[in-house]
Amino acid sequence: MPMSVIRALMHPEYERTCKECGYEWTVPGYYSKMHARGLPTSFGGSRNAGMVMGSASTGRLDAVQSDNAEMADIVAGYKTCAQCGSAHASQKRVWK
């Protein structure tokens, strides 16, 4: 199998076209859909540790919230048209 085909399958790209102004932009496959990572069910080694919010687990909670906020900002940038700000767009996969 040629490397270009393997790369296209592993790292797809999508092209979005704004329905309002016709502007087109490329979106990496990872950001074409939202990937919620959520919070871990347990913050420690114990099975019951998920219900206990100690100082060590609060740091982990803050890190997860920060990571999710960063990802939401990146996804929002790909979701809206850079030219007119519209969130209405069509999407198709681009084979390179």
Structure tokens at 54: 């100690």
| Cβ atoms 19, 88 nearer than 8 A | yes
How far, in Å, are 30, 34, 88 from residue 72 at the CA level? 13, 8, 18
Predicted pLDDT at 19: 95
Would you say 30 and 95 are in contact if contact means Cβ atoms under 8 Å apart? no
Interval 30-50: pLDDT, tens: 777 744 455 444 444 444 444
**40-96 residue pLDDT tens:** 444 444 444 444 555 556 778 888 888 888 888 888 888 899 999 998 999 998 876
Max intra-chain CA distance, the chain = 54
